[in-house]
Structure 1
Amino acid sequence: MEPGFRKFTAAIDQGTTSTRFFIFDERGEPVAKHQEEFEQIYPHSGWIEHDPFILIKSVENCIEAATAKFISAGYNTRDICGLGITNQRETAVVWDIRNGKVLYNAIVWADSRTAHIVRQLKLQDAEEKIFLKTGLPLSTYPSAVKVKWILEHSRAARDVYESGHLAFGTVDTWLLFNLAEGHSGEKLHVTDVTNASRTMFLDINTLEYDPFLTGFFGLEKLLLPKVTSSSNSKAYGFLAKGPLMGLKITGCLGDQSAALVGQKAFEQGMAKNTYGTGCFMLYNTGNQPVISKNGLLTTIAFQFEDSPPVYALEGSIAVAGSAVKFLRDNLGIIQEANEIGELAMLVPDSGGVVFVTAFAGLFAPYWVDDAQGTIFGITNYTKREHICRATIEATCFQTKAIMHAMEKDSGIAIKNLAVDGGMSNSNECMQLQADIIGIDVDRPAMRETTALGAAIAAGFGASVWTSFDELGQVNSRNHRKFNAQTTQIQRTKLFRQWERAVVMSRGWLTSEDIDKEYDD
């Protein structure tokens, strides 16, 4: 390396409620960043949409602002070696491949409008076959059912589909189509294996789209993006506009896979938990997929260029940070999100309150579509502090349930849980997590691991690093461990109460309710 020469990597982190852009140094420390929140669209109860062009604009704004900070700090943009993209998964966008015209708003991963479609698809007796091919249960979660809904409700989308020009993509594909170009100036329609594995179109065993799957959903004419490795020196092209025009894009990962990479969980048996809008635990199972028998998803963790894919078991919790936002924005119980931990610790326990945060059903390991958010145990004694504590505990209990399922599927006990994401910033929340699961919770000082994972993938694609051993100094400083301060008897008692509440929350919605609520 030349004297004084620096190597930086950059990352677009397009999330559910905000977009961020980071530029990292060789140690994985952010030297410039910018974040922009964008509007959430809620047309009906259980529906969540994004304007696809707002997503693009937010990315452009973040790149421009962070790059200006980078330059003003005295750095040179020529020293940025590669760009990675990480994104909210499952969110579905469809457009006319000929002109880029969007045919419907992006339907967000947590949207539950497709519950009635899922119920009808389950009657076709193909659920087990689909699960073995995709690692995913039939639910409102994957992209395929969202696209099917769009074609059933949008004449414009159906017409373009019938003409053979309807393009589909998750958010990474949409961003690349609009912000990048190939080496010959061509438009790109591409995705990586981690995002493709969340669509329900990809056979995770062959890494190819499966005709049975597209036929099952009645989407044989849909134009699907080319699937490639998560770290790739050629497939993702260059930025076509903005202050970093010409910067090579060399990495792409779905957000939870990116967090696993950012935590450097490259070895079989390593696990991480990300507390964002939802909460997602991934457990590295190595180069062979492990099909869960205990309510988990099997997903592709990452694939670096010229290497075999690495798989993971995943437990997905639909509501985590969004429950805190619910207390703030809907109920007014707190004024700022960071108040929740402080209030929760003002009481020794939840006072018997249990909050099942099933705003759109429950994800792993329960997969309950007919539950809604339910608070049990409210008495004259209940105060807002108890509700705050029960809100945090809801995520912690679901994490514990997922850990149990992972241990059953793998036969290996998890000894340590690496954490990141918004709720992990709260010492109180992480202490409650350790108390509920009974093992150490390990939090790095730099907790932007999702963006860091995309930057690491980009760094490998740009040859900044060539082996995992070279990442020893990346994000290694000032880790904090939270140790459990509860007994096994206490933990068992609390978890049994949670499980009882989950059982009692089932069946709130009838099939008639679902059809009425989700039909347009």
Structure 2
Amino acid sequence: MARLMLGIDQSTQGTKVLLFDGAGRLYHRFSKNHHQLINSRGWVSHDLTEIWHNILILVTQAQQLATANGDEIVGIGITNQRESAAAWSRVDGHPLAKTVVWQCARATALCDQIAQRGVAATVQAKSGMPLSPYFSAAKFAWLLKNESAVQTAAAHHELCLGTMDSWLIYQLTAGRSFKTEPSNACRTQLLNLETLDWDPELCAIFDVPEESLGTVVHSNDLFGMTDVDGRLNRTVPIYSVLGDSQAALFGQHCVNFGDVKATYGTGSSIMMNVGQHPVRSKNGLMASVAWCLDGKADYVLEGNVNYSGAVVKWLQENLNLIDSPAETGALAVKANPRDQTCLVPAFSGLGAPYWNDKAQAVVWGMTRTTGKPEFVKAALNSIAYQINDVIQQMQRDTGCQRNALKVDGGVTKNQYLMQFQSDITATQLLIPNFEELSGFGTVYVAGMALELYTPTTYQQDVSYKAYQPQMTSEQRDFNLETWHHAISIVNRNFQ
């Protein structure tokens, strides 16, 4: 009987349940998308009940496969979309509102009101991040001000607020465990980076009752026991929880000072491991927690891009320029190399390092000869430009010049984009031999807690394909100048 680890990867577009064998190899993957609820005001929401039902379906399939092969699921690791804000009842666990998804900027006006009180510097000093509707705290505050069921639960001291990890843990344990951990909690903007616990002053600034938040424990703590509402044939421990970007950082083995990775998902998270003490950015980046394992915390510098893979989805679903994301690489290669069309995809403002919540998307530099290939190329290039800008600021903050960038996510299949990223960043690009880095990272943490895996096994499981920069420095400088001119147009016109 083989011992298997089960990973739950709950992301923006859908949920995956992953089985890994005793050697840390991916055994099988099950996936199911959920609806993206976008209203006429551009607010982005998810249905918590739909996500939970999808998890039950996927875990049932995983257990059926394990049973058919005579195998045994022995533990669970969870990784999840971060910053998305959930509210549910402490009494029976039912959702009190739709999730406010991390992409959603509906709390912008609320952040403006908070800033007028002169507390923005305090928020950044304590949380490591600039005051922004991007983070969960402002989303929690919005729910408390605008959802009557949330208000009623708060008044009766029956409210649970949390990121998706807390919601999943609560459901998996039938309400017995209401916990989170630092890699997720730091993204709420309510965690004190020094104490790694909820900060009473930050909670007061956002008018979020601290009693509504889960207990912060280590990332490899025992989060509870579960049989996933009877879907597993035995009760197993949840021994790891990590935000998806931090889980990918661990899966990429970026455990040393200066190691950098970029995850290409719906948005992108670019992270540099900065060791056991937070680095306060002077260049528009965020100080966050990588993980806290066995009581020892590692920190990161991070920059987030709101639209990366979502740009490709926009080309397909909104503009109908492509039938499949797989077409984009070939189209970009066909584009006129002299065309300088720039797309700034500020569909929900601009994140790091620009921090302009009011920014709107702009296309600049089009000519009469700009066609579909050139426009698709501009869309792909915008992903690489944004990521490069974050990496440049990381290097300024730390003085650390790295000669490699590790990347992961579905968009890494796009050979044009990967070569352009290597070119524009002027560094070697390393793509791992499999895609499920977030699930891989959290399952390894859980597997080591169960003594199923060892650090040696973990380090040996990933190999890489490399891209080398080929662009001349003159062409790189010209391209970057064009991009930064487009960014300046956005910042001048939307303030």
TM interval, short-chain normalised: over 0.9
Q: Please say if residues 2 and 71 of structure 2, whose CA atoms lie closer than 8 Å, have aligned partners that are also in contact.
A: no
* 2-structure distance, mates of 1:89, 1:210: 19
1:76 aligns with 2:71: yes
Aligned partner letter, 1:500 = H
**Which region of structure 1 is more displaced relative to structure 2, 410-419 or 342-351?**
342-351
* 1-structure distance, mates of 2:297, 2:224: 18
Aligned partner letter, 2:485 = R
For residues 52-103 of structure 1, the C-alpha deviation after alignment (integer angstroms, 9 at most, x for no partner) is 111111111222223334444x2502xx332100000010111121122322
1:469 aligns with 2:456: yes
For the residue of structure 1 that corresponds to 2:116, the secondary structure is helix
Note the C-alpha offset of 1:290: 0.6
Note the C-alpha offset of 1:27: 4.2
* 2-structure distance, mates of 1:35, 1:180: 22
Among residues 267, 270, 284, which one is paired with 2:259 in the alignment? 270
1:353 aligns with 2:341: yes
Note the C-alpha offset of 1:509: 4.8
- In the superposition, relative to structure 1, how do residues 71 and 126 fare at CA in structure 2: closer, same or farther (>3 Å)? same
Q: Please say if residues 23 and 453 of structure 2, whose CA atoms lie closer than 8 Å, have aligned partners that are also in contact.
A: no
1:200 aligns with 2:189: yes
TM-score (norm 2): 0.96
* 2-structure distance, mates of 1:240, 1:69: 16
Aligned partner letter, 1:249 = I
1:97 aligns with 2:90: yes
For the residue of structure 2 that corresponds to 1:464, the secondary structure is coil
TM-score (norm 1): 0.92
1:66 aligns with 2:55: no
Q: Please say if residues 262 and 453 of structure 1, whose CA atoms lie closer than 8 Å, have aligned partners that are also in contact.
A: yes
Among residues 384, 396, 402, which one is paired with 2:384 in the alignment? 396
Equivalent residue, structure 2, for 1:316:
304
Aligned partner letter, 1:23 = L
Matches within 5 A, 1:73-472: 74-77=69-72, 80-181=73-174, 187-220=176-209, 222-232=211-221, 234-244=222-232, 245-304=234-293, 306-349=294-337, 351-466=339-454, 468-472=455-459
Q: Please say if residues 350 and 390 of structure 1, whose CA atoms lie closer than 8 Å, have aligned partners that are also in contact.
A: no
**Which region of structure 1 is more displaced relative to structure 2, 10-19 or 99-108?**
99-108
- In the superposition, relative to structure 1, how do residues 195 and 15 fare at CA in structure 2: closer, same or farther (>3 Å)? same
Among residues 38, 49, 56, which one is paired with 1:53 in the alignment? 49
* 1-structure distance, mates of 2:384, 2:346: 14
- In the superposition, relative to structure 1, how do residues 236 and 136 fare at CA in structure 2: closer, same or farther (>3 Å)? farther
Note the C-alpha offset of 1:240: 3.9
1:506 aligns with 2:480: no
**Which region of structure 1 is more displaced relative to structure 2, 27-36 or 428-437?**
27-36
Aligned partner letter, 1:429 = L
Equivalent residue, structure 1, for 2:36:
40
For residues 12-62 of structure 1, the C-alpha deviation after alignment (integer angstroms, 9 at most, x for no partner) is 000001100111124432111111111000123331000111111111122
For the residue of structure 1 that corresponds to 2:263, the secondary structure is strand
Q: Please say if residues 417 and 439 of structure 1, whose CA atoms lie closer than 8 Å, have aligned partners that are also in contact.
A: yes
Aligned partner letter, 1:273 = A
Aligned partner letter, 2:83 = E
For the residue of structure 2 that corresponds to 1:311, the secondary structure is strand
Note the C-alpha offset of 1:473: 1.9
* 1-structure distance, mates of 2:338, 2:439: 34
For residues 211-238 of structure 1, the C-alpha deviation after alignment (integer angstroms, 9 at most, x for no partner) is 1011111123651101111112x23332
Unmatched runs of 5 consecutive residues or more in structure 1: 511-520
Note the C-alpha offset of 1:432: 1.2
* 2-structure distance, mates of 1:508, 1:63: 49
What is the aligned-residue RMSD (CA, Å)?
1.6
1:492 aligns with 2:477: yes
1:29 aligns with 2:22: no
* 2-structure distance, mates of 1:98, 1:357: 42
Report how many residues are paired.
494
Q: Please say if residues 371 and 507 of structure 1, whose CA atoms lie closer than 8 Å, have aligned partners that are also in contact.
A: no
Aligned partner letter, 1:127 = A
Q: Please say if residues 423 and 469 of structure 2, whose CA atoms lie closer than 8 Å, have aligned partners that are also in contact.
A: yes
- In the superposition, relative to structure 1, how do residues 290 and 350 fare at CA in structure 2: closer, same or farther (>3 Å)? farther
For the residue of structure 1 that corresponds to 2:343, the secondary structure is strand
Q: Please say if residues 27 and 473 of structure 1, whose CA atoms lie closer than 8 Å, have aligned partners that are also in contact.
A: no
Q: Please say if residues 35 and 62 of structure 1, whose CA atoms lie closer than 8 Å, have aligned partners that are also in contact.
A: yes
* 2-structure distance, mates of 1:197, 1:153: 24
For residues 135-171 of structure 1, the C-alpha deviation after alignment (integer angstroms, 9 at most, x for no partner) is 1110111111011111211222112212221111111
Unmatched runs of 5 consecutive residues or more in structure 2: none
Q: Please say if residues 315 and 364 of structure 1, whose CA atoms lie closer than 8 Å, have aligned partners that are also in contact.
A: yes
Equivalent residue, structure 2, for 1:16:
12
* 2-structure distance, mates of 1:174, 1:9: 21
Note the C-alpha offset of 1:362: 0.5
For the residue of structure 1 that corresponds to 2:150, the secondary structure is helix
**Which region of structure 1 is more displaced relative to structure 2, 238-247 or 50-59?**
238-247
Q: Please say if residues 32 and 67 of structure 1, whose CA atoms lie closer than 8 Å, have aligned partners that are also in contact.
A: no
- In the superposition, relative to structure 1, how do residues 343 and 27 fare at CA in structure 2: closer, same or farther (>3 Å)? farther
* 2-structure distance, mates of 1:348, 1:450: 37
For residues 147-201 of structure 1, the C-alpha deviation after alignment (integer angstroms, 9 at most, x for no partner) is 11112112221122122211111111111111225xxxx6211111111111111
* 2-structure distance, mates of 1:111, 1:205: 28
* 1-structure distance, mates of 2:354, 2:342: 17
* 1-structure distance, mates of 2:224, 2:92: 20
- In the superposition, relative to structure 1, how do residues 159 and 404 fare at CA in structure 2: closer, same or farther (>3 Å)? same
* 1-structure distance, mates of 2:85, 2:398: 31
* 1-structure distance, mates of 2:254, 2:397: 19
Aligned partner letter, 1:42 = I
